[in-house]
């Protein structure tokens, strides 16, 4: 791991993201790349270390899918059952100009109180680290006042393991991409004052399921994040069709599985020449079956 980090950044840059309990939401995109410390994982979501955001997202021959790290995806619904979408800013380094769910980012190493969840946190469904990170980033990206959200209202549904090369933005030899175990967080909140950060978000929109499905048709010409497309195609219709059931029961809660998916062909390749990997495993096929609701 140390040799890989040095090969990407060089010795001085590799240490630029030393752990800190402070965090400045007004940093530039480049500063976040060097200073934010992602939580590195093995394939079973066990913490094995940390590395700055740049190292964690570089696709190369040494690391064809970069470094597996922890992430979260927030799906925020209003009281009409509409989902808040955002369009990632054109200035984002990875996956700019794409529409996606409310907020997608990383819990970070080095915070107090911690954003690092343990296996016990996952087993209990509490995952307070991911939820704290979600509130921090909803403030940063969308200007949502942390005081307007109740951390206890986040519902942790499950985890997804996926990867995607950002070849749409950066070409077939793209050095950038994502490789994450993503914690899915649902929340309902109304009356929010949204003030998007211009370096993070170009647009936002509340949509119904039918409106989202219309927006995602190819003829719309809109770009979508690869993780959101996977979630929509594999899970979201079931989770969304009865929000009361999703929030008030555990029908869709799966704390044991890590659902594993490769991206669509448009997000394969990159500098590491990455191709089919996760969907070819027996575990992935089993997880796809587990994404279906239990029979009554």
Cite the active site residues: 104, 180
**84, two tokens:** 């808040």
Question: Which residues make Cβ contacts (< 8 Å) with residue 234, sequence separation at least 6?
Answer: 259, 261, 288, 291
- Is residue 70 within 8 Å of residue 109, measured between CB atoms? no
- Is residue 52 within 8 Å of residue 33, measured between CB atoms? yes
Question: Which residues make Cβ contacts (< 8 Å) with residue 13, sequence separation at least 6?
Answer: 34, 54
- Is residue 72 within 8 Å of residue 183, measured between CB atoms? yes
- Is residue 275 within 8 Å of residue 163, measured between CB atoms? no
- Is residue 293 within 8 Å of residue 251, measured between CB atoms? yes
- Which residue(s) pair with 50 in the sheet? 39
- In the chain, where do the E strands start and end? 37-41, 47-52, 69-77, 83-88, 99-100, 103-105, 155-165, 177-188, 201-207, 258-261
- Is residue 38 within 8 Å of residue 70, measured between CB atoms? yes
């Amino acid at each position: 791991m140390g040799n890989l980090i040095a090969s990407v950044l060089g010795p001085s840059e590799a240490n630029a993201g030393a752990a800190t309990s402070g965090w400045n939401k007004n940093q530039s995109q480049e500063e976040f790349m060097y200073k934010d410390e992602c939580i590195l994982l093995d394939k079973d979501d066990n913490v094995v270390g940390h590395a700055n955001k740049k190292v964690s997202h570089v696709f190369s021959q040494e690391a064809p899918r970069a470094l597996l790290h922890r992430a979260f995806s927030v799906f925020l619904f209003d009281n009409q059952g509409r989902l808040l979408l955002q369009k990632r800013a054109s200035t984002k380094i990875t996956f700019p100009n794409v529409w996606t769910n409310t907020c997608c980012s990383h819990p970070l190493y080095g915070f107090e109180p911690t954003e690092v969840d343990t296996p016990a946190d996952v087993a209990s469904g509490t995952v307070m680290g991911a939820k704290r990170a979600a509130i921090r980033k909803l403030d940063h990206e969308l200007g949502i006042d942390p005081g307007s959200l109740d951390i206890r209202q986040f519902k942790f549904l499950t985890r997804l393991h996926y990867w995607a090369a950002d070849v749409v933005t950066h070409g077939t030899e793209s050095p950038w991409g994502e490789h994450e175990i993503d914690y899915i967080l649902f929340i309902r909140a109304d009356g929010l004052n949204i003030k998007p950060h211009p370096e993070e978000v170009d647009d936002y929109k509340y949509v119904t399921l039918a409106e989202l499905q219309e927006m995602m048709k190819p003829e719309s010409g809109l770009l979508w994040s690869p993780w959101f497309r996977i979630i929509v195609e594999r899970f979201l219709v079931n989770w969304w069709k009865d929000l009361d059931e999703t929030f008030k029961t555990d029908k869709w809660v799966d704390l044991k599985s890590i659902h594993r998916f490769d991206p669509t062909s448009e997000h394969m390749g990159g500098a590491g020449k990455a191709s089919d990997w996760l969907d070819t495993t027996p575990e992935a096929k089993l997880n796809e079956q587990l994404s279906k609701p239990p029979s009554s």
